[in-house]
Each structure stands twice: as C-alpha cells, then as structure tokens.
Amino acid sequence: MRPSPPRPRHSRPRPRPRPRSARALLGALFTALTALAALVTVAPAAQADTTLCEPFGTTTVQGRYVVQNNRWGSSGTQCVTATNTGFRVTQADGSVPTNGAPKSYPSVFDGCHYTNCSPGTNLPARISGISSAPSSITYTYVGNAVYNASYDIWLDPTPRTDGVNRTEIMIWFNKVGPIQPIGSQVGTASVAGRSWQVWQGSNGTNDVLSFVAPAAIGSWSFDVMDFVRATVSRGLAQDSWYLTSVQAGFEPWQNGAGLAVESFSSAVRTGGAGPDVPGNPGQPVACEVAYATNVWQGGFTAEVTVANTGASAVDDWRLGFALPAGQRVTSAWNASLSGSSGAVAASGLGHNARIASGSSQTFGFQGTYSGTFAKPGGFTLNGSTCTVR
C-alpha cells in the first residue's frame, strides 16, 4: 500500500499598507514581486513529515532506509510518523495478551523485507564476506505502555528478499512490562562489550536467538556482526548463509504512543575493510581536518571539522586520533566517541553519517587534561590519513 502523501504547510501572507498614489502602487507592486522572486529562489520548499496508518504502510527516510508501520497482531489503529532521521509512534490503539506475540513491529530497516528493499542497500550479503556492519541508534522511551525496544536481524541460507528467513536475532535494548522473548533463557553472554541474557526458541517458522540487556540502553553504536558471529558459534547459522536485513524498532503489547527512534544508521562492509574501519572498503579517502580548541586550566573543548576532499561520498565515517597523555574526554556532541583517552574514534550519527564530496561534518567534545595541553598529532578517516589545517 502507498504511504500517505506529505501534508503541505500553509502560511497566511501579511497585509500590505495601501499606497497613496498610482506611482506608489506601482512601486510597491514592483518591490513585492522582487521580494517574492527572491523568496522563491532562495527558500527551499518545506517538507512535512509522512504519517503512515495503513497496517503495512512504508516510506523512506535519509534516502537510505525504509520506515514501516508493520501492524499485524491487532485490529486497533496504529500510526507512525517518519521524521528526517527516524520515526515516532503517534497512535497505538489496542492491546494483546502479554503472554503471547506483540501486536506489531513499527521499525526502520536496511536491507530487504518481504520484497521491499531499502534504497542502495547491498543486502542480502554472504556472512563470510562481511567484514563489519556498524549500526547506531537513539531511542525515546515511554512508561505508560508494555513493549520492548529491539533490533531484529535476519539470516537465511539463501539470499532471499521475500518471506520469513531461517534465523532471527533479536537484541532487546529495553523491556517494559511482564513480557519475555520467545523460548527460554539458556544462559548469559558478553557480546560487543556488553553483558546479555540469552534466550533461544522457535516461533514455528524460524529459530529465534534473543539477547536481552539487563538495563535499558537509550543510545548505542555497535557492530551487528558481533551478534551474527555469536549466532553462528551457537549453531543457528553458518558463514555461508546471508544477512538479509537489519531492523530496529519496537514490539508493543499495550499502547506505545510516543515511542520513537530518534536516529538510525546501518552499513554493511564487504571485502577488504576490517572491523575497525567501517568506511568504504578498498577505497582510499581524501580528507582534511580542522581542530579548534578552547583551553582553560585543567579543561578544554575541541571542535573538529572533517572535510571530504575526495571525489566520492564517505558513508559511515569514522575519524581516528590519539589524545596526548593526560587528556580525557568527558562528553561529546554530534558524534559517537569510542574511547575516552589514548586512541579515540569518532563516528557519525544517523543524521550526519555521510560526508558528501566537497562537504564536511563537525562534531565536538569536552575534556580534562593535566600538564601541558597539546593537540593530537594526526587523524585518519576510515583508515586514510588526513591533512591537518
């Protein structure tokens, strides 16, 4: 079904003062037409968010991912509104028993789901040929509902783009209410640097392996392949199988209005790039970095601008650098930072994960230092050395 068209925004023009003469009228008209022409030339057209209320309605966000309403377990109305970087649940009527399946899975995805493939995706991809699959998300939660916030990752022996896959991996970032994953808990595991409860079972058509966080995670950047490899090690998939989609959203049982994915990014890197280089594999990057600081006794802020001086866009950029001894990051904005001292890597978020050719992205962080303050000696963008200005 087609998604609802965007609703245009309307504004009422201001009344103009009445001119006192024909000459004044002509002058005023000329001025108004000139201003109108400038406005039409300069101002971009406003674009409203798209709201989906059809059970399986979809739309595209960021030009790269598909947002889906995906209501299948209840007759109650559910609506999601796609935003520039994700979606929010704006209506969530109805409820289902908490000892059964959820009523829906409103979500955003990279890959292919029931013949619907996201723009430009390289999925399905053979697991053995994937070096890394970096993804990041920021959730907004509500308290007056029963739901989980979860990734849904699908694997199959064939590169299928339709129907149900053989194995489903779920990553529960949050759980509210008396609900549990399919099957039973079979142990605990450390995956991607975090501890998880591990549940295993089957829903009758596919195997399900679930990783449940012991406490809510609101925002995280991680490598999806860490969970895929953990699934292969448990015998629920093989390296010759295919990763077909990476999805993120919510499974609500009761209510759910207000839940939101504020930002989402996903990439699947095949070929020569290693797991620490989630950039364009095998392609050198041309880049330039500006590092501006404000320093006071014992503390500093840094504003970092990363410019792509090459001919191709850089997707899912990752800027690596080493903080001098005695420096430590305490907070950051407009990027996700891994590491707080020594070797540090900054990655783009959902809204700024791409650096177009000739463009740049800027992020910043605050930190502390001891001794004499110094700037990092060099920077690498997705493994390629950048010039510093």
Catalytic amino acids? 168, 251
- Cβ atoms of residues 85 and 264 within 8 Å: yes
User: Which CA distances in Å does 228 have to 68, 154, 155, 167, 168?
Assistant: 23, 9, 8, 10, 10
Return d(Cα 228, Cα 232) in angstroms, integer: 6
Name which of 108, 105, 95, 102 is nearest 71 in CA terms: 105
The half-sphere exposure of 102 on its side-chain side, counting CA atoms within 13 A, is 29
254-279: string of b/e by CB count within 10 Å (b at 16+)?
Answer: bbbbebbbbbbbbbbbbeebeeebbb
Sign of the alpha-carbon torsion through 17, 22, 28, 29: positive
Name which of 109, 82, 106 is nearest 92 in CA terms: 106
- Tokens 């996903």 belong to residue: 266
Query: Exposed, middle or buried by CB within 10 Å (0-12, 13-18, 19+), for 7?
Result: exposed
Bond prior to 178 in cis (omega within 30° of 0): no
